[in-house]
Amino acid sequence: MRPTDIERFMDLALAEAKNAELLNEVPIGAIVVNNEKTIIGRGFNQTESRCNPVAHAEILAIEDAAKQNRDWRLNNFILFSTIEPCPMCKSAAAEARINRIYYGSENSQMMSNKKECIQTNLRNIDCSKILKKFFKKLR
């Protein structure tokens, strides 16, 4: 994928994170892109507003993509997330047969094994800034 495409998709994931911010949710956003480089799924973290521990940005984006795709098998689709997905979301991507994840900023809480199919620190400053701002406001 070209750097300009990656930049564009990360911008859209960040726009999803801003939707979460407006709801006072931890601001994380995600999108799923299909083989034609079309956005087919979107999600932002809504654990509090949906009272659902599973309603992470990436899970919602994957569910949205499966519905749009009319097939839950998202072979070769790409998941973009503003931060490093948690183990649940990484496993959900694997369940959906997504084998490429691009994310903006590393999650310092996680000590995950980096694999070649995962690209990281794509928009590190923007993606970490929105989270830092949120947690600063909380304190």
Active site residue 21: no
Reduced to 3 states (helix: H, G, I; strand: E, B; else coil), residue 111 is coil
> How far is it, in rounded angstroms, from Cα 120 to Cα 103?
5
Within 13 A of 117's CA, how many CA atoms are on the CB side?
12
Q: Which of residues 50-79 bind a copy of itself (CB under 8 A)?
A: 51-54, 56, 59, 62-63, 66-67, 70-74
Choose between 3 and 87: whose C-beta lies nearer to a copy of itself.
87
Tell me: does residue 2 bind a copy of itself (CB under 8 A).
no
Tell me: does residue 7 bind a copy of itself (CB under 8 A).
no
Choose between 13 and 59: whose C-beta lies nearer to a copy of itself.
59
Token pair belonging to 16: 């999803």
Instruction: Evaluate whether 59 touches 46 at the Cβ level (below 8 Å).
Output: no
Catalytic residue among 25, 58, 63, 84: 58
Choose between 4 and 109: whose C-beta lies nearer to a copy of itself.
109
Reduced to 3 states (helix: H, G, I; strand: E, B; else coil), residue 63 is helix
> How far is it, in rounded angstroms, from Cα 28 to Cα 85?
10
Q: Which positions lie near a copy of itself, rule CB under 8 A?
A: 47-48, 51-54, 56, 59, 62-63, 66-67, 70-74, 86-88, 91-92, 94-97
